[in-house]
Amino acid sequence: MALERWFRRQRPTRGDDDATPAGLWVKCSACHAQLYRKDLVAHLYVCKECGHHERMPVAARIAMLADEGSFEPWSGAVRPVDALGFVDVEPYAERLAAVQHKAGRPDAIVTGAARIEGERVALAVMDFQFLGGSMGSVVGEEIARAAERAGEEERALVMVAASGGARMQEGALSLMQMAKTTVALEHLASRRLPYVSVLTDPTTGGVTASFATLGDVIFAEPDALICFAGPRVIQQTIKQDLPAGFQRAEFLLRKGMIDDVVPRGELKRRLATVIGLLRAGGAAAPGALPAGA
């Protein structure tokens, strides 16, 4: 028991959000360097010792991508319901209420209008801290609405994905969001407006299997885990050792599943460039861009 307490004390103190600072110092989750919290935030949550990209709060992500003062929120009006009366270790309704209170938003996504280096976009950012960024009815609905409104307002759509997949507590209603978001993106494509998807750590499950990998251009952040089923599940199923870096962004780039791995500090400029090029071409034509454009 004493040993267990000792291990518990050694855990890094790590806040998940700016709203809940967990001390002045944080440990890099990759190289374990002690980092001054303010420095880490100023460096866009990238470790200056090893370059590891820590997960980023939604507000910081929007501030990083949107031109100053340009973001106008669209999401927030739709609230999730517990249609199944789902109970696991605690009732879904209670779990939701607690996380809504902490996050200050009804569900795991924020959408809105913004400009990225002057390009008019609809920006959608998933919140991994909100029930693992899981996709329930509200996340699907907000994405569909953002895609439709982007179409009406002639905006490109930029999606920053971070998700553990479908929200189990909403059962089949959650899985239906895969189809809903896909159809909404088709509508955007029919208007020949660009859709750029940014996969961050982690992007998994039904989110990977639907809107996150449907971008005209798909970027990923360095070392992001991107998969349908996770490496542990696959390893236990096939009972074989997996190659190094399996299902990480760089691995998927080599396999042709994504278009580029973009360090966070370059992401805004790269998004603006690619949207500008697709707009200039007048088409969101998949494969029209050379790699690294």
CA neighbours closer than 13 Å in the CB half-sphere of residue 22: 11
Residue 26 interacts with Zn ion (CB under 5 A)? no
The residue (of 56 and 159) whose beta carbon lies closer to Zn ion is 56
Q: Which one of residues 19, 31, 87, 98 is an interface residue with Zn ion (CB under 5 A)?
A: 31
* 94 touches Zn ion by CB under 5 A: no
* Site membership for Zn ion, residue 30 (CB under 5 A): yes
Q: How many residues bind Zn ion (CB under 5 A)?
A: 8
Listed in order, strand segments (DSSP E) in 38-148 are 72-73, 109-116, 119-126
Residue (of 119, 45, 43) closest to 271 by Cα position = 119
Stretch that binds Zn ion, among 13-21, 24-32, 136-144, 241-249 (CB under 5 A): 24-32
In 10 A of CB 68, how many CB atoms?
A: 7
Nearer to Zn ion, 45 or 219 (CB): 45
Sheet strand arrangement including 260-261 = 72-73, 109-116, 119-126, 156-163, 195-203, 217-220, 260-261
Q: What is the 3-state secondary structure (H, E, C) of 238-290?
A: HCCCCCCCCCEHHHHHHCCCCCEECCHHHHHHHHHHHHHHHHHCCCCCCCCCC
Whether the CB-CB separation of 113 and 71 falls below 8 Å is answered with: yes
In angstroms, the CA 134 to CA 205 distance is 9
175 binds Zn ion (CB under 5 A): no
Nearer to Zn ion, 148 or 223 (CB): 223
Shorter beta-carbon distance to Zn ion: residue 47 or 224: 47
Asked whether position 29 contacts Zn ion by CB under 5 A, the answer is no
Question: Is position 162 an interface residue for Zn ion (rule: CB under 5 A)?
Answer: no
- Window 45-64: residues binding Zn ion (CB under 5 A): 47, 49-50, 52
In whole angstroms, the minimum distance from the beta carbon of 261 to Zn ion comes to: 17
Does residue 42 touch Zn ion according to CB under 5 A?
no
Select the residue interacting with Zn ion from 28, 103, 225, 284 (CB under 5 A). 28
Residues in contact with Zn ion by the rule CB under 5 A: 28, 30-31, 33, 47, 49-50, 52
